[in-house]
């Protein structure tokens, strides 16, 4: 969804947002374009050059285990670090470490070189976010690469319009070769990012999906995240174009507005921008959600494009009374999850499950997620399935159900670039939840199939 602040002189905390189209002055592509010219979910995104993204993950001195999980999962996994993410940089942002952690943090940073220590006491809602964006305005950098196809495999770019640089090592191209899986990447230094993000350390980010969604967004006056109640961007992962980061750092009145809930504060800063009515708010509600076991109103099963298509095609008017009753009534039918239920602790569908079966049960709409005793007894989709009588029956049913699961390829609609899926999962409060999320969305680190 694209939105902008409506006109008027309301307080920044209550200024309403309205969806925009080509008739609005803030529409970033001109009135002749009735919809965005490129989509992150199809081949048109490949017409655009990948963008640079600086992600600052908020952390604390004692949270080394969380940092290691991030480094070992979405920070390096080949299904997250796809072609196009070479200029996506992750850094861990903390205040001054306490004395008992100072040497450990120093050793860790000497090893990985990815920690930024702000000159302030550690905090969450007492200025850290403003301090981070102020630092990023001057210092955030991302890697810069050129890409080339070795001379024995050199080819003309598909659109025939790229200027190429020939050298003894081969044919280099700055743009389309960056998305050619056969191209070689050559590091040439650092550059300023197009976007700067703030993220929580209990969130898993699929970097390739984030980069593609930002590639089709405007490069200036852009605020990106999950819009809550048409009011503010949720704090688990939001970002903005570099010009807005510089505004936050330089605009004097904001320096007295740094204490309070940081996500609401950041939104208030954006709403005070002199050009606030021209800022485009990009809300990715479908791609950002809480872990299936979190039990929050934002929780549901892990989402893949095939299930997104099915949900979008559902017609509550055509549902049977029994189906509507199962989903909590017509009002709630469209938000029903086969995995998560608000305020109710998660219960696995079987008592005896392997780790991979448990992960499959957390996938939204999966057959495994439907197989609880309650589903088998009451749910219309599972009425034909008899209740099992023994542990052996249960184990056999779990095995057969798992074996019938769709392939990863099918879940991504046979798209080899796996576009249009989950971007961020938040509220991952346990290490095992983090590993579940990585396994569900990215697969095993050394395999392309789960």
Confidence of residue 269 (pLDDT cuts 50, 70, 90): very high
Distance CA 13, CA 116 (A): 31
130-135 long-range contacts, Cβ below 8 Å, gap at least 24?
130/248, 130/254, 130/255, 130/257, 130/258, 130/265, 130/269, 131/258, 132/56, 132/58, 132/93, 132/198, 133/196, 133/198, 133/245, 133/248, 133/249, 133/266, 134/248, 134/249
Q: Which of 405, 14, 23, 59 is nearest to 232 (CA)?
A: 14
Sheet holding 204-205, edge to edge: 204-205, 424-426, 288-290
**What per-residue confidence (pLDDT) applies to 145?**
94
Q: Is 65 exposed, middle or buried (0-12, 13-18, 19+ CB in 10 A)?
A: exposed
* Strand 53-58 to 115-121 pairing: unpaired
- pLDDT tens digits for range 154-197: 454 444 344 444 434 444 444 446 777 778 889 999 999 999 99
User: Which distant-in-sequence residues (6+ apart) come within 8 Å of 161 by Cβ?
Assistant: none
Which has the higher per-residue pLDDT, 88 or 350? 88
Residues 392-398 have a mean pLDDT of: 90
- pLDDT tens digits for range 63-117: 999 999 999 999 999 999 999 999 999 999 999 999 999 999 999 999 999 999 9
Confidence of residue 147 (pLDDT cuts 50, 70, 90): confident
- pLDDT tens digits for range 185-225: 899 999 999 999 999 999 999 999 999 999 999 999 999 99
Q: Where are the domains of the chain?
A: 2-141+192-283, 144-190, 288-442
Mean predicted lDDT score pLDDT of the chain:
88
**What per-residue confidence (pLDDT) applies to 6?**
53
pTM for the model stands at 0.90
Terminal CA-CA length for the chain: 31
Question: Could you say which of 3.30.1450, 3.90.550, 3.30.70, 1.10.3470 is the CATH number of the domain covering 2-141+192-283?
Answer: 3.90.550
Distance CA 409, CA 420 (A): 13
Furthest-apart CA pair in the chain: how many Å? 71
**What per-residue confidence (pLDDT) applies to 165?**
40
Question: Helices (DSSP H) in 344-390: which residue ranges?
Answer: 355-361, 367-370, 373-378
Task: Say what percent of the chain tops pLDDT 90.
Answer: 68
């Amino acid at each position: 969804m694209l939105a902008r602040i409506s006109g008027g002189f309301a307080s920044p905390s209550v200024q309403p947002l309205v969806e925009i189209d080509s008739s609005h002055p803030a529409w970033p592509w001109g009135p002749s374009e009735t919809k965005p010219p490129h989509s992150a979910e199809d081949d048109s995104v490949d017409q655009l050059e990948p963008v640079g993204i600086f992600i600052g993950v908020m952390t604390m001195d004692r949270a080394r285990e969380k940092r290691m999980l991030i480094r070992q999962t979405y920070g390096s996994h080949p299904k997250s670090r796809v072609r196009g993410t070479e200029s996506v940089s992750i850094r861990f942002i903390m205040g001054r470490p306490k004395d008992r952690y100072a040497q450990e943090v120093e050793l860790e940073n000497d090893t990985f070189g990815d920690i930024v220590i702000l000159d302030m006491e550690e905090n969450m809602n007492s200025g850290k976010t403003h301090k981070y964006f102020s630092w990023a305005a001057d210092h955030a950098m991302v890697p810069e690469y050129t890409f080339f196809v070795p001379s024995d495999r050199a080819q003309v770019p598909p659109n025939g319009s790229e200027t190429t640089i020939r050298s003894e090592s081969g044919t280099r191209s700055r743009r389309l070769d960056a998305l050619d899986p056969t191209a070689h990447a050559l590091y040439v230094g650092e550059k300023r990012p197009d976007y700067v993000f703030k993220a929580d350390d209990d969130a898993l980010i699929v970097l390739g999906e984030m980069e593609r969604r930002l590639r089709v967004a405007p490069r200036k006056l852009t605020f990106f995240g999950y819009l809550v109640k048409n009011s503010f961007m949720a704090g688990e992962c939001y970002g903005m174009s570099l010009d807005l980061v510089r505004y936050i750092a330089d605009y004097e009145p904001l320096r007295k507005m740094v204490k309070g809930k940081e996500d609401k504060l950041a939104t208030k800063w954006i709403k005070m921008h002199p050009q606030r009515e021209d800022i485009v708010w990009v809300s990715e509600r479908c791609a950002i959600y809480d872990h299936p076991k979190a039990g929050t109103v934002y929780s549901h099963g892990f989402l893949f494009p095939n299930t997104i298509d099915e949900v979008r095609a559902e017609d509550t008017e055509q549902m049977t009374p029994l189906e509507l009753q199962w989903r909590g009534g017509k009002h709630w039918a469209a938000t029903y999850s086969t995995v998560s239920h608000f305020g109710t602790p998660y219960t696995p569908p079987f008592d005896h499950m392997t780790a991979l079966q448990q992960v499959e049960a957390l996938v939204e709409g999966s057959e495994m997620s439907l197989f609880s005793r309650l589903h088998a007894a009451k749910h219309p989709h599972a009425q034909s399935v008899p209740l099992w009588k023994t542990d052996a029956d249960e184990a056999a049913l779990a095995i057969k159900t798992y074996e019938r699961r769709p392939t990863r390829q099918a879940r991504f609609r046979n798209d080899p670039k796996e576009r249009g899926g989950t971007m961020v999962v938040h509220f991952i409060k346990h290490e095992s939840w983090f590993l579940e999320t990585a396994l569900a969305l990215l697969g095993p680190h050394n395999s392309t199939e789960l």
